[in-house]
């Protein structure tokens, strides 16, 4: 009898535990429904409020564009007060900075993603809604450039050193192809990051993105380049050696550019002449004294780049190395050298015009000062 009573008590305990679990599950399910309803209501209110703010942001952006056009038209008149124009431009710049650098930027339509991003990532939204996320992407891009600049210089230097010291004047196939695969990875990631930064408001000149497209194509073509060995290894691998020498020069230039441009960018942001989402790009963003050191190095690099490209074309046309890869790589090097040179000259001319306008403005302000002898 006692055993049966004990069994009955165990059954009752099990039934109570089962009913408790069923009740707890029902309660949690009801809480989930309530949370879903509250979240949906909040999202609906947030969406409606966001649409109102979006319309206000679009209206402000349109008003700023219209005011900019009006200012340009009125400033052509000689009777227009220069100081008043500067005050208007300063206020407009502050308003534009809010639209570009602030949280309001997430409300404005983003730039088109372009075919490159769609090809690699598909039709996804890459616009960061929070400002700190966009700044984190920019800082990571700058850090990535700094890291890869050292590797860009290190890898070809090691290959050339090992060729003379260990490989008896002849490059093995595998190390060279691994380096070329790394170049393809490097330029692809740089192009992806730069396109994402442009979507998020960075002012990267289109040429530097196109430059990396050309470099990607060159790295891809060089992967199919047959690395021939003995006999007569020196002549057969002349194109590879020239390419590695150019890569060393490019690595040195990248280190100098990154150092000078980062310093210049921080200065421009502090002076209010650049946005926080701008990046270290281009070839002539150095500060005044450093620019005179950087520009000759860049022009030498561009000339050497064109020289290597022409040498590759010459080795192909005279029959030393007749592969089509040599012709394509040579043509791409010449194209990139010409594009880099044209962009550098264009940037220097823009800087020169800006300095001339600044000197003219300073002279105008000095002439407007009252004479010490006037009463």
pLDDT in tens, the chain (375 residues): 445 555 555 566 667 778 788 888 888 898 998 989 888 888 888 878 778 887 887 888 888 888 888 777 777 776 666 677 777 777 777 777 776 666 676 666 666 667 888 888 887 777 776 777 777 888 888 888 888 888 888 888 898 888 888 877 788 888 888 988 999 999 999 999 988 888 877 777 888 889 999 999 998 998 887 776 666 676 667 777 877 887 887 788 777 777 666 655 545 444 444 454 444 444 444 444 455 667 787 888 888 889 888 988 887 777 666 678 888 888 999 999 999 899 888 877 776 765 665 555 555 554 554 444 443
pLDDT for residue 187: 92
Q: Cα–Cα distance between 206 and 203 in angstroms, integer?
A: 9
Handedness of CA 154, 159, 160, 165 (dihedral sign): positive
Q: Smallest Cα–Cα separation from 248: which of 310, 177, 148, 155?
A: 155
Q: Smallest Cα–Cα separation from 201: which of 315, 70, 110?
A: 110
In the structure encoding, which two tokens stand for residue 170, read together? 């002849």
pLDDT for residue 369: 47
Say whether pTM exceeds 0.85.
Answer: no
Q: Cα–Cα distance between 213 and 119 in angstroms, integer?
A: 13
In the structure encoding, which two tokens stand for residue 360, read together? 């003219």
pLDDT for residue 80: 65
Task: Read off the DSSP letter of residue 278.
Answer: -
Beta strands in the chain (DSSP E): none
pLDDT for residue 220: 92
pLDDT for residue 149: 84
215-241 in b/e burial notation, b at 16+ Cβ within 10 A?
Answer: bbebbbbbeebebbeeeebeebbbbbb
Dihedral pair phi/psi, residue 372, rounded to 5°: -60, -25
Q: Cα–Cα distance between 74 and 62 in angstroms, integer?
A: 18
């Amino acid at each position: 009898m006692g055993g049966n009573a004990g069994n009955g008590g165990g059954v009752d305990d099990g039934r109570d535990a089962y009913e408790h679990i069923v009740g707890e599950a029902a309660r949690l399910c009801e809480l989930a429904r309530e949370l879903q309803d509250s979240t949906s209501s909040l999202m609906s209110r947030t969406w409606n409020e966001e649409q109102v703010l979006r319309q206000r942001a679009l209206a402000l952006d349109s008003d700023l564009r219209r005011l900019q056009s009006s200012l340009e038209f009125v400033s052509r008149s000689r009777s227009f007060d220069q100081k008043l124009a500067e005050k208007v431009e300063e206020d407009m710049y502050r308003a534009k900075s809010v639209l570009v650098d602030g949280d309001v930027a997430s409300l404005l339509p983003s730039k088109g993603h372009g075919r490159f991003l769609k090809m690699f990532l598909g039709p996804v939204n890459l616009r960061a809604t929070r400002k700190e996320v966009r700044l984190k992407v920019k800082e990571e891009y700058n850090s990535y450039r700094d890291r890869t600049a050292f590797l860009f210089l290190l890898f070809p230097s090691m290959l050339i050193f090992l060729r003379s010291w260990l490989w008896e004047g002849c490059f093995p196939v595998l190390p060279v192809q691994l380096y070329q695969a790394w170049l393809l990875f490097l330029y692809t990631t740089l192009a992806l990051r730069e396109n994402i930064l442009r979507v998020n408001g960075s002012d990267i000149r289109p040429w530097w993105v196109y430059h990396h497209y050309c470099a990607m194509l060159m790295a891809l073509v060089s992967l199919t380049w047959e690395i021939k060995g003995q006999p007569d290894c020196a002549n057969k691998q002349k194109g590879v050696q020239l390419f590695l020498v150019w890569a060393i020069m490019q690595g040195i230039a990248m280190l100098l550019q990154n150092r000078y441009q980062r310093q210049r960018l921080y200065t421009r942001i502090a002076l209010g002449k650049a946005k926080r989402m701008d990046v270290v790009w281009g070839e002539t963003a150095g500060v005044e004294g450093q620019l005179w050191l950087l520009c000759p190095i860049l022009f030498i690099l561009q000339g050497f780049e064109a020289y290597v490209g022409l040498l590759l074309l010459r080795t192909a046309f005279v029959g030393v190395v007749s592969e089509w890869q040599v012709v394509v790589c040579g043509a791409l090097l010449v194209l990139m050298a010409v594009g880099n040179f044209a962009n550098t000259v264009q940037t220097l001319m823009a800087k020169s015009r800006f300095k001339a306008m600044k000197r003219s403005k300073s002279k105008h302000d000095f002439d407007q000062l009252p004479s010490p002898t006037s009463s």
